[in-house]
Amino acid sequence: MNGSRGGQSFSGAFLRLRVCVGALCIGLVGCSSGNEPAMSGNAQPGGSPPAEKSLNGSADVAMRWLLDHPEAHRLENAAEELQLRSVDNVAPNLTLVRFDQHYKTIPLLGQQLRVHLNGRGEVTEISGDFVATSQGMSAKPGTTVEAARAAAAVLVPGVSNNCASCPAELAYLVPQRGNRPLVFGPQLVWQVDAAVNAINGQRLLLHGDSLAQLRSTPLALSGQ
């Protein structure tokens, strides 16, 4: 799987599509058909949409646009993989709809897709870091959550209750651009929060098959 960054905007009768894979960007310019009006919230035939649109309406517009333009993101199923995080009016003529990316309900760490809407409620661009999932990814680790907690107990001395009740969940670790990846594409990992006490502990990312430690972050810095 390759990380992707996409941008798409409407300008007159022209459609601009920009897709990047790693450091390689491809720009395509073509004509949109006259039968494809820009999507907007509560648009009225032959008239302008209302200036005031609800935040929920913006989220609906953004998702409809993503479902109608799969070439812009190459997700296997945008409706299932994107989970709404926030809708923010960041400027008089700009609303950002942010989605966190999941695959088969498993979060992809740090992956977020943003849809930009102008003051008329039209989608003008998408941005962010997200992973093309059209080829499918494994969602089954070779180890159990109990084994992941036992491994965390060894890696974090003094962890409370020998980590038997440590919060643990599956996630995908996505290689950062510009760095040599540990694996090809997103790696299925166990994310385990191993707390020693109320203020000390580590958030561990353990390989889903080997349980090798891939990353360790103090819980105080991970937002816990």
pLDDT tens digits along 159-183: 988 899 999 999 999 876 554 444 4
CB 75 within 8 A of CB 135: no
Residues 96-110: what's their mean pLDDT? 94
Contact of 196 with 210, CB cutoff 8 Å: no
How many domains is the chain partitioned into structurally? 2
Residue 143 has pLDDT above 50, yes or no: yes
Q: Is residue 91 part of a domain?
A: yes
122 and 160 in a single domain? The answer is no
Q: Is the pLDDT confidence value at 76 over 60?
A: yes
- Residue 198 domain flag: yes
Domain termination residue (choose one: 78, 98, 131) = 131
Q: Are residues 9 and 102 in the same domain?
A: yes
116 and 161 inside one domain: no
CATH number, position 206: 3.10.450
Residue 103: which domain range? 3-34+53-131
b (16+ CB within 10 A) / e for 109-125: bebbbbbbbbebbbbbb
Q: Rounded to an integer, what distance in angstroms lies between the CA atom of residue 55 and that of residue 85? A: 12
Q: Which residue has the higher pLDDT, 1 or 24?
A: 1
pLDDT band at 185 (very low <50, low <70, confident <90, very high): confident
Q: Kindly tell me if the per-residue pLDDT of 11 is higher than 90.
A: no
Residue 47 forms beta bridges with which residues? none
If asked whether residues 100 and 169 sit together in one domain, one would say no
The predicted model scores a pTM of 0.70
Q: Is residue 140 in a domain?
A: no
- Does residue 42 sit within a domain? no
User: Is the predicted pLDDT of residue 18 greater than 50, yes or no?
Assistant: no
Residues 71 and 93 in one domain: yes
Nearest to 95 by CA among 118, 61, 114: 118
The answer to the question of residue 176 being in a domain is yes
Is 209's pLDDT higher than 50?
yes
Phi, psi of 163 (to 5 degrees): 65, 15
pLDDT in tens, 109-137: 999 999 999 999 999 999 998 888 856 67
Q: Are residues 60 and 168 in the same domain?
A: no
Q: What gap in Å lies between CA 212 and CA 5, rounded to an integer?
A: 30
Residue 72: predicted pLDDT: 87
Domain match, 175 and 119 both: no
113 token code pair: 């897709």
Same domain, 202 and 113: no
